[in-house]
Structure 1
Amino acid sequence: MSSDYSYDEEGTLWPFFVFTLSGLVTLPLSYVLYKGTRDPAASFPRIKSDYRPTDAEVVDATRKKDRRKDNKLWLVFLVLLGWSVMAYTMYLIYVTPTTIRSIWNPYDILGISESASEKDIKSIYKKLSRTLHPDKARPDASKNETIETLNDRYVEISKAYQALTDEEIRNNYIQYGHPDGKQSYSIAIALPKAMISDGNGKYVVLLYTLLFGVLLPYIVGTWWYGTLKRSKEGPLMESANRLFRQYEENIDVGGVITALSTGKEFEEALKGDKADAGLSKIESRILAPGETTPFAGGLSVKDKEKLEDIESGPRRKALALLWAYLGRVDLDDDALTKSKYEVAPIAHSLTKSFTAISLAYGNTAPILASYYASQHLIQAVPPKASPLLQLPHFTPAIAKAVEGDSRTVMTVQSFMDQPDAKRRSLAVGKGLLTEDQYKSAVTVAKQLPYFRVAKAFFKVAGERCIIPSSLVTLVVKGRFIPPGSEAVPAIDELELEDVDAAEDDLDAILGRKKKKQIGKDEAGKPVYEAEAPEAVFPPLAHAPYFARDYSPRWHVFLTDSKQGKMAVPPFTFTEFDAPIYGEDGVAPTFRMQTMKAQFAAPPQAGHYTFVMNVVCDCYVGFDTKMEVTLVVEEASKAAEMVGEDEISEPDEDSLAGIMNAAKGGPPPKKKRAADEEEDSEEEESGTEEEVEDTSDTNTDTEPEN
């Protein structure tokens, strides 16, 4: 046996190789490019509004620029090149004839079926020998026959006959597929011979060196360095280090804004001549007297001093632009206006790193200040300014006129809770809002997703009480009730219960979406919905000044008000189970929503009072604070309470019954027909016995309309 290595001289193999190789590279890159060009926010619901701020075109252009920033030119070039190569090689595969090597088959050579007898084989062979024997065969020129082809044909039928009649030759055919035994084979390299012949080999070596010795290490190194260069939250590690040095235990929202200006990302955005250009103009505008505040930018005297203490450079300009953005200060310069809207999303991304740093320290004030800074950046509202500025057409002067002489800040909820006639008298008039502007503001306010907490309590799944170090679940029940909502239905007390899943409900145990039963068929079997309900996302934040599409997030965490420390880290919620708005996208459904957070109970028994914070990171004044009490019982007392309960034998068809039998327990009791009928009625009514709450909760929140 011998082997032969040959190149694809006929050009039938290398197109397949190149097509496969280019496809392995082009298809993933095409997917990455598609994901980069696709707007992920396109599928999210939006708050309907016709409001367009003065610089709406600049904001829209900045938002579109951000969507395109990941679409690198080199990536587009590689994808186009890859698809071009694949198209060309596919064309070659289609037009190039392929050489098909047939399998040696003695029956096909003799022209007989595999069921032919030995007699038939001999008869056919004799007939062919008389016509193909070299002594008798005469070539036919019309069939392009020659003496050589006839001789080869005669040799073939002779080998075929021997393979079917001679035992030794037949064994060779059966074992090796050929009467002559094991044959030599050839390995065709899927590269044209011209690539390595006539002095072209050095170019091939050079190409492979560039691909695998230079390009591949560069791509891998760039990716690896990029992962190390950024923190887990997204900002650069250098920015996170600088924010760490800016951390203070008593920092407020203005201090967080000042700290965010240290981000290295601003140096890249304001590099070169941009660092100092127009800085004096920005500062003169933001430090000018404001309508209702000492400065137009909304900064305090302390914030002004911090700004002036910064040496000239990207950081000072970044901070000045941030205050110009928060104060909605007109800069009368296209370049400066564009930069003003570009720095806000950068600062907002840095709040994630500052929040992570604050959580590591565990102090309540910096954590809340970080979340509040996120709200103000998204809404373009200065710290301590009126939350009414979140509504369209509202200015500081109009917000001040609506609030009047009250020293307390009026939230959007309190403004919308007033009768329409009173709202109009406060907001509509000369120097205030027009009738159309008022309607626009009210329309937006009635769509804002304000989460109103109805009940919060602690529980341990399947247990009547909470013991030390057990896994506790904080259950928060509430509804989305937009400000100014009318005809809000009363709360169904059953919706405030949190019933544990049955022990044999695998869907609930594994966290799968459970299909809802909608009835029963003729045979009495339950009928479920076609598909399990999908997760519901709230509408994108109504933020006409923020040059990004942002989906709201709700953070739930517990704090110790006495020590000013965080007790349970935040749990973040971005989606819900029940629809928030109706099919029109405007009318609220008032469906009860459930948010759950699990944590370990304290190691000692006692009563623990916490402050529960429910913070929305993109709307000012939409937060909830309430006291909740966690009651932790001694393990011995919990055992006594369990012992007092009547424990029934598990049913034989339940998972508990099977496990009980496996442990050698007594035979499970079979349910009586009356009990089964009673259970069936309970299931149809949709009511189940709830595990008793083991915590006291102060749910003294705002009364619902």
Structure 2
Amino acid sequence: MANYSYDEAGNMAAYFLLTFLSIILIPLSISSLPTSQKRSATSGCQCRQCVEQRENIRKREGGSFFTPKLRRKTIIVTIGWAMVAFLAYKITTTEVENKVYDPFEILGLRSSADLKTIKSHYKKLSRKFHPDKVKLGINETIEAVEAKFVEITKAYKSLTDETIRKNWELYGHPDGRQEVSMGIALPKWIVESGNNVWVLGAYGLIFGGALPALVGRWWFGNRQKTKDGVHARSAAAFFKGLTEESGIDDVVVSLGKTFEWERPSVSAAKQDKELAGLEAKIKERLEGKWDELRKLAEVMPGETESRRRAFILLHAHLLRLPVSSSALRKEQAEVLLQTPALLNSMLNICVSRNWLAPTLSAMRLHAYLAQALPAGQMNLKLAQFPGITADEAAALYPTMNAVDDFISSLEQKSDERTPEIKLVAQKWGKVEIVDAALKVFGERFITPSAFISLLLKVRLAPPISSKAEDETAADRKAEEAREHEFLGSRKDAEDLAVGDQGTGWAHAPYWPANRKPSWWALLADVKTNKIVIPPIKVTDIPSGSGYRMYKQQFQGPPNPGLYHWRLYIISDTFVGEEISRDLMWKIEDVSVLNAEDQTAEDDISEPEEDSLAGQMALMRGGSVKKHADESDDESSTDDDHKSESESSSDSD
């Protein structure tokens, strides 16, 4: 049987707490480690604006050496490891008594001592420690002396008495099998009567108050959010506000109805004054359009003040208006960093309804926000490059839209901005479609309701056009094998080449965080102007001559016929960098294919005339294959008869 007792020294409790903390702290610490951004920083845009922006982001997120920014997670991890260090120190410095019963050690003899030596030594110890003969010292008690004498006697019998010695050898103790003593990993003070009130109060506070509150907060918080992480009220506003014909301005207006922006804000008179100045500048730049947008977004003065502030800061970013107040800049950054999730929520709502126009608008607005350009003004595309003003970009747009042409014109003028613009162009997100096709793995034709794979081969085009190398037959064969292997795999994206680090940070000097570019690929029906399949998002597209394959599987239409679909590839970071391609493809009729296959099979299966199968087919009246020489003989005989008849008619 086991004898359970509370761990008075607290040793088992220390082991328990150390194990519990380690299970929590190890994964939490790993997740708290800073990600390696050095590779992305060196492989990203190296223009002066982007380098300065990345440094500002690093300081804002991590602080400096003298004023580090402490996050709640970091503080919890630090306190946890401090507790682990304390518990480890306590465990290593606490002596644990776990001795094995050894009668030789108790008697003070060597294990090789014989029986005569044991008896002689025991007599000496008996005279020395017998309770009747011992004179008690100052700190000694008769009970301690008696216990010592009993211990010596028991050790002596363990070596001389046959039965007791057998118990010691079998069970490690002269009294035979002992109870197992196990310490419960709780200090004894927890169950002491004087601490009952405090212990019960702590249990009630933790399990009756704190734990239900945390679970309830988590439960009701999740119920209020959609799967996109957006508040349900925001999603409802998007659902009601967007229509099938909604454009990019309607998407911006829907952003103004975001419930996440309805939060109490502490504003100072200085901030309110600057905010009013920003609104006046926005109104001047938009020339009366601001009042209409503000009314549609329901952000009128005095009503939903926090949403009005967020709407003003959003447009100040799009118009690149400087914000001097650090508090307003922080608030603006928070608003901007919420927009990707909000736009993705709109995107999912539009995709679920198969609406093409608002889906494309939501995708394009990502790039306008990333580059801080007015929504929908494609003529300002060149203003994404450093040093190019909005007026200059608008003047260049009709005649010069391609990046390589723009760089060539700057080089001809010896413009001092050319080196910086070239640095940006090296990491520019212009996608080139190497190939796009709809295929069924292992089949030559696409049949109704087949599982079709949209196969994309894309790459980032270099800033300056280069002549493509001629493709050999061996290259084509290798590409076919590569394509076949990828179609047969379960991967949605082909593995990056060895040594390829992927796409680094994009050129986005006005965005308040490091941004990795990605692209949407979307299939739409040209006739109905509807989305055919949900869009996929691709990233880490290689640049140069190589390409990377992506695929998306879906079930094809149930009816045969010729289909005309359009493929859109839209960047979420670079304004105007989108491309489309029309795909014409045919779904074959299964009955026609079966008839053709049957005809081909019949042609192949006709037996020869002189074979056993051929003779049996002739007896049944079927068709057989004739030898070529026989058919030639028959044709020559017919010609002879014909020539004879002609000659006889001539003689007549």
Q: What is the TM-score with the length of structure 1 in the denominator?
A: 0.70
1:370 pairs with 362, 369, 388, which one? 362
Task: Give the deviation of 1:538 after TM superposition.
Answer: 1.3
Matched residue SS, 1:205: helix
Task: Give the deviation of 1:473 after TM superposition.
Answer: 1.0
The equivalent of 2:284 in structure 1 is 288
The equivalent of 2:90 in structure 1 is 92
The equivalent of 2:537 in structure 1 is 572
Task: Give the deviation of 1:252 after TM superposition.
Answer: 1.0
1:128 pairs with 92, 97, 118, which one? 118
Indicate yes or no: 2:382 matched with 1:388. Answer: yes
Task: Give the deviation of 1:285 after TM superposition.
Answer: 0.5
2:397 pairs with 403, 419, 427, which one? 403
Distance in 1 between residues matched to 2:530 and 2:486, nearest whole Å: 38
Q: In the TM superposition, what are the counterparts of 1:204-215 in structure 2 within 5 Å?
A: 204-215=199-210
1:546 pairs with 507, 511, 524, which one? 511
Matched residue SS, 2:228: coil
Distance in 1 between residues matched to 2:116 and 2:493, nearest whole Å: 76
Q: In the TM superposition, what are the counterparts of 1:513-662 in structure 2 within 5 Å?
A: 533=498, 536-576=501-541, 580=542, 588-638=543-593
Q: 1:206 to 1:12 in 2, by over 3 A?
A: same
Distance in 2 between residues matched to 1:454 and 1:254, nearest whole Å: 33
Distance in 1 between residues matched to 2:403 and 2:157, nearest whole Å: 105
Provide Cα deviations, 1:198-227, integer angstroms capped at 9, x if missing partner.
Answer: 723322332333333333333333333333
Task: Give the deviation of 1:303 after TM superposition.
Answer: 4.1
Q: 1:194 to 1:216 in 2, by over 3 A?
A: same
Task: Give the deviation of 1:105 after TM superposition.
Answer: 9.3
Matched residue SS, 1:48: coil
State the structure with more CA Rg. 2
Matched residue SS, 2:548: strand
Matched residue SS, 1:474: strand
Indicate yes or no: 2:77 matched with 1:79. Answer: yes
Task: Give the deviation of 1:189 after TM superposition.
Answer: 3.2
Provide Cα deviations, 1:608-666, integer angstroms capped at 9, x if missing partner.
Answer: 11011111111111111111123222334555777869xxxxxxxxxxxxxxxxxxxxx
> 1:552·1:617 contact (CA, 8 Å) conserved in 2?
yes
1:443 pairs with 412, 423, 440, which one? 423
The equivalent of 1:473 in structure 2 is 453
- Structure 1 counterpart of 2:405, which letter? D
Q: In the TM superposition, what are the counterparts of 1:140-289 in structure 2 within 5 Å?
A: 149=148, 152-159=151-158, 170=166, 174=170, 178=173, 180-197=175-192, 199-268=194-263, 270=265, 278-289=274-285
The equivalent of 1:651 in structure 2 is none
Task: Give the deviation of 1:73 after TM superposition.
Answer: 5.4
Distance in 2 between residues matched to 1:473 and 1:306, nearest whole Å: 42
Indicate yes or no: 2:480 matched with 1:499. Answer: yes
- Structure 1 counterpart of 2:560, which letter? A
Distance in 1 between residues matched to 2:280 and 2:552, nearest whole Å: 48
Task: Give the deviation of 1:320 after TM superposition.
Answer: 2.8
Structure 1 stretches lacking a partner, 5+ long: 114-122, 429-433, 517-531, 581-587, 646-705
> 1:12·1:93 contact (CA, 8 Å) conserved in 2?
yes
Q: 1:418 to 1:390 in 2, by over 3 A?
A: closer
Matched residue SS, 1:190: strand
The equivalent of 1:453 in structure 2 is 433
The equivalent of 1:50 in structure 2 is 47
Structure 2 stretches lacking a partner, 5+ long: 64-68, 135-139, 602-652
Matched residue SS, 1:476: strand
Task: Give the deviation of 1:480 after TM superposition.
Answer: 1.3
The equivalent of 2:318 in structure 1 is 326
Distance in 1 between residues matched to 2:22 and 2:397, nearest whole Å: 64
Q: 1:255 to 1:62 in 2, by over 3 A?
A: farther
- Structure 2 counterpart of 1:232, which letter? K
Q: 1:454 to 1:30 in 2, by over 3 A?
A: closer
Matched residue SS, 1:454: strand
Indicate yes or no: 2:405 matched with 1:417. Answer: yes
Task: Give the deviation of 1:606 after TM superposition.
Answer: 1.8
Q: 1:258 to 1:218 in 2, by over 3 A?
A: same
Matched residue SS, 2:277: helix
Distance in 2 between residues matched to 1:339 and 1:502, nearest whole Å: 48
Distance in 1 between residues matched to 2:221 and 2:355, nearest whole Å: 31
Distance in 2 between residues matched to 1:506 and 1:482, nearest whole Å: 25
Matched residue SS, 1:86: helix
Q: 1:386 to 1:177 in 2, by over 3 A?
A: same
Task: Give the deviation of 1:351 after TM superposition.
Answer: 0.6
Q: 1:282 to 1:501 in 2, by over 3 A?
A: closer
> 2:47·2:424 contact (CA, 8 Å) conserved in 1?
no
Task: Give the deviation of 1:545 after TM superposition.
Answer: 0.7
The equivalent of 1:361 in structure 2 is 353
Q: 1:28 to 1:605 in 2, by over 3 A?
A: same
Identity percentage of aligned residues: 25
The equivalent of 2:16 in structure 1 is 17
The aligned length equals: 576
Distance in 2 between residues matched to 1:600 and 1:184, nearest whole Å: 69
Q: 1:486 to 1:600 in 2, by over 3 A?
A: same
Q: What is the TM-score with the length of structure 2 in the denominator?
A: 0.75
> 1:26·1:78 contact (CA, 8 Å) conserved in 2?
no
The equivalent of 2:309 in structure 1 is 317
Task: Give the deviation of 1:181 after TM superposition.
Answer: 4.0
> 1:276·1:314 contact (CA, 8 Å) conserved in 2?
no
Query: Could you say which structure has the higher helix fraction?
Result: 2
